[in-house]
Amino acid sequence: MDATEAATGCIIEIRHLWTQFGEQVVHRDLNLCVHRGEVMSLVGGSGSGKSTLLREMLGLEHPSRGEVRVFGVSLRDGDPAELHGIRNRWGMLFQEGALFSALSVFENVALPLRELKTLDEELIHDLVMLKLDMVGIERGHAAKMPSSLSGGMVKRIALARALSLEPELLFLDEPTAGLDPDRSESFCSLIADLRRELGLTVVMVTHDLDTIVSISDRVAVLADQKIAALGTVAEVAAVPHPFIENFFQGERGKRALEGLKSPAAVSASGQQER
Amino acid sequence: MTSSAAPNPLFPSLRVERNPDGQSVVKVSGAWNLRSIQPVARTLRQQLTGHAPGAQWDLSAVSRLDHAGAMMLWHAWGKQRTGHLQLRSEHEIFFAHLEAGPTLADKYGKRVERRRSLWVPGRAVVTLGEHIMQVLILLGKVSLAFMEAVRHPSRMPWREISANVYRTGAQALGITALVGFLIGVVLSYLSAQQLKAYGAGIFIVNLLGISVVRELGPVLAAILVAGRSGSAMTAQLGVMRVTEEIDAMSVMGIPYTLRLVLPRIIALAISLPLIVLWTNAIALVGGMVAARYELDISLTYFITELPDAVPVANLWLGLGKGMAFGTLIALLACHFGLRIEPNTESLGVGTTNSVVAAITIVIIVDAVFAILFSSVGVP
């Protein structure tokens, strides 16, 4: 663990972050800390800047002011070699998968491993097959091209690719959007399993209440250009704020939170599925 | 962290010891995660091979493990769990995964081998036939859409046509002017060298006039427009196909031939003759300037002499060619655009093919024109 990370205890640390597009202020003096080993959900209305914040955590965009540190390295003025190093320590699942359309499923997952240039082909082959197996893709699909697969399969393969470098930190953008309920449930338990086995830290942007309730340790609500509430699902749901009331106290919200009333049952069943 | 023997607790290492019974024990220690093993993967692989099958493995000093590390050890054991294995309970799960994976047993074949048959030329002919067929079908659909639009002028996509005329015509004026002017200068300068030798300097007007107006202007403009607008059309339609915009349009009951293909063809059939006219004019200006300096032929003489030297039929022929080229370029660009499959490679190949096919067809059709109209416009 890096010295700065150890000092603050945050795997991702956002300090006094401002994001502005012209006149429009998206984030105003936003602070957030993601602890090692937790699953953090980012929720917020459309246009509240969730995806922008995620992109800023990945260094794809830079904030107008303020600082983002991941693994204790500042994404803006960190040492280029260090920045390169942390890119091998995180994985990102894009909303549409972002698989390389010119490469087969196998090649897609193998690409980050091949880029290391030190592993032999046999090890890469078996690792790729193991990852595909973990996300529930049958080997018959390995030679297919992404364009011939369904959206749910693309998402699972993209997850396998995000996991291929054995990351410590995993970013998920709407991981269960577009999956049927059964698939999204198994996706959640897959994430929960992986997290238990590998000690993953997960940051996800999602709208799906069931996903939030079933796997997240903490929820950060983005509203009014800042983090309006931060805490466990039950804590956040109790915060009096118009967006939160809408989000958690609607019909669907109530149904999802219903499960929280008997927390023991939920966590037990959530952990033991599969 | 627990291993006191290893100098750096994070460094993946292994060494062989003898236990009290005299058996060799391979002691594995350090962090065996991908991040730690990948810089030293080659050395580790060498160290891992060559251990007796019956050797005992002690993994209890391994501080970190992940699938990659477990897989590396797994390979060293001949892809099975070695008999004498000591490991931490929390690491058990990684080997459980490997044991449970029967899918690892058989080798994933290379990508389905494309059969290299001897009939490559035959396949090329078949592909060409397919293309011709599809272009004809597209032409038929567009003609039907055109008839429809003529019968109901309100359905004619005027706005798209005008937008495309602007994009393919007005915005191409700069580049065609530059190329036309330079070609005019070069042609005039080189011809002047030869004509001077025979004292036939004044024939530069006939030479330049006929070659530019009848041949060079239309072909030059068409090639530039094929590269510039043809590729853009292919890419546009291709991306629209990838993002299912064309399907969305069809579902709404808007025929894409009417809304996407027809305006592009009509627009290029209008704008290319105009571009040809423009290129002709600029190329002749270039020629005139070069003739002025090289042969001392005054600009006024050149301009007054031009109508006598070049029968006006040549101009009409050139403009007619421009119209035919424009139609063909747009038709081919749309054809290739609509064939693009949803992946990046196909987009690249499609755009390349579109431009190559358009330029080739322009030159073929130009040859056909030359033969058909060989007696037209020659004084």
pLDDT exceeds cutoff 50 at B327: yes
**Residues A136-158: b if buried by 16+ CB within 10 A, e if exposed:** bbebebbebbbeebeebbbbbbb
Closest CB to A120 among B34, B45, B111: B45
- Partners of residue B97 in chain A, C-beta under 8 Å: 130, 133-134
When scoring B38, B90, B91, B94 by the number of chain A Cβ atoms within 10 A, the one with the most, hence best to mutate, is B38
Percent of chain B with pLDDT over 70: 92
* H, E, C per residue of chain A: CCHHHHHHCEEEEEEEEEEEECCEEEEEEEEEEEECCCEEEEEECCCCCHHHHHHHHCCCCCCCEEEEEECCEECCCCCHHHHHHHHCCEEEECCCCCCCCCCCHHHHHHHHHHHCCCCCHHHHHHHHHHHHHHCCCCHHHCCCCHHHCCHHHHHHHHHHHHHCCCCCEEEEECCCCCCCHHHHHHHHHHHHHHHHHHCCEEEEECCCHHHHHHHCCEEEEEECCEEEEEECHHHHHCCCCHHHHHHHHCHHHHHHHHHHHCHHHHHHHHHHCC
Per-residue confidence (pLDDT) for residue B324, from 0 to 100: 96
Per-residue confidence (pLDDT) for residue A264, from 0 to 100: 45
Q: Do the chains contact at A147 and B68, CB–CB below 8 Å?
A: no
Q: Report yes or no on A198 lying in a domain.
A: yes
Closest CB to B38 among A116, A129, A146: A116
Summarised one tens digit per residue, pLDDT across range B106-163 is 555 444 445 556 667 788 888 899 999 999 999 999 999 999 889 988 888 899 999 9
Rounded CA-CA distance B145/B258 in Å is: 5
Nearest C-alpha in B relative to A146: B343
A64 and A30 Cβ atoms separated by less than 8 Å = no
Pick one of 3.30.750.24, 3.30.300.30, 3.50.50.60, 3.40.50.1820 as the CATH number of B13-104: 3.30.750.24
Mean pLDDT over A179-195 rounds to: 82
**Does B92 contact A at CB distance below 8 Å?**
no
**How close does chain B come to A96, measured CA to CA in Å?**
12
Taking CA atoms, A33 is separated from A9, A54, B49, in Å, by 8, 13, 45
pLDDT exceeds cutoff 90 at B344: no
B42 and A119 Cβ atoms separated by less than 8 Å = no
Summarised one tens digit per residue, pLDDT across range A57-90 is 888 888 888 888 888 888 888 888 888 888 888 8
Domain boundaries, chain B: 13-104, 120-372
Per-residue confidence (pLDDT) for residue B3, from 0 to 100: 40
Mean pLDDT over B222-231 rounds to: 94
Per-residue confidence (pLDDT) for residue B233, from 0 to 100: 94
**Does A265 contact B at CB distance below 8 Å?**
no
At position A171, the amino acid (one-letter code) is: F
**Does A268 contact B at CB distance below 8 Å?**
no
A226 and A30 Cβ atoms separated by less than 8 Å = yes
**Does B109 contact A at CB distance below 8 Å?**
yes
Q: Report yes or no on A105 lying in a domain.
A: no
Closest CB to B103 among A116, A118, A133: A133
Report A:133-172 residues touching B (Cβ under 8 A).
133-134, 138-139, 142-143, 145-147, 165-166
More reliable by pLDDT, B140 or B242: B140
Percent of chain A with pLDDT over 70: 91
- Partners of residue B104 in chain A, C-beta under 8 Å: 126, 129-130, 133
pLDDT exceeds cutoff 60 at B61: yes
Mean pLDDT over B85-89 rounds to: 79
Rounded CA-CA distance B213/B187 in Å is: 13
More reliable by pLDDT, B164 or A209: B164
What is the domain count for chain A? 1
The β-bridge relationship of strands A10-21 and A90-93 is unpaired
More reliable by pLDDT, A26 or B170: B170
Summarised one tens digit per residue, pLDDT across range A3-25 is 556 666 788 888 888 888 888 88
Q: Which of A64-68, B1-5, B195-199, B331-335 is modeled with the greatest confidence? A: B331-335
- ipTM for the whole predicted complex goes beyond 0.85: no
Q: Report yes or no on A71 lying in a domain.
A: yes
Per-residue confidence (pLDDT) for residue A49, from 0 to 100: 84
Q: Which of A213-222, A253-262, B92-101 has the lowest mean pLDDT?
A: A253-262
Q: Report yes or no on A25 lying in a domain.
A: yes
Closest CB to A198 among B66, B111, B341: B66
Closest CA to A177 of A145, A146, A205, A215: A205
Q: Report yes or no on A17 lying in a domain.
A: yes
pLDDT exceeds cutoff 90 at B362: yes
Q: Which of A189-203, B42-56, B187-201 is modeled with the greatest confidence? A: B187-201
**Rounded mean pLDDT of chain B?**
85
**Does B43 contact A at CB distance below 8 Å?**
no
Per-residue confidence (pLDDT) for residue B52, from 0 to 100: 65
Mean pLDDT over A20-38 rounds to: 87
Q: Do the chains contact at B342 and A147, CB–CB below 8 Å?
A: yes
Q: Report yes or no on A128 lying in a domain.
A: no
Which domain covers residue A171, as residue numbers? 3-89+167-272
- pLDDT category at A274 given cuts 50, 70, 90 is very low
What backbone torsions phi and psi does residue B205 show, to the nearest 5 degrees? Answer: -65, -45
**How close does chain B come to A169, measured CA to CA in Å?**
13
Closest CB to A166 among B33, B107, B108: B33
**How close does chain B come to A222, measured CA to CA in Å?**
30
Q: Do the chains contact at A118 and B38, CB–CB below 8 Å?
A: yes
**Does A98 contact B at CB distance below 8 Å?**
no
Tell me, what CATH number does A260's domain have?
3.40.50.300
A109 and A161 Cβ atoms separated by less than 8 Å = yes
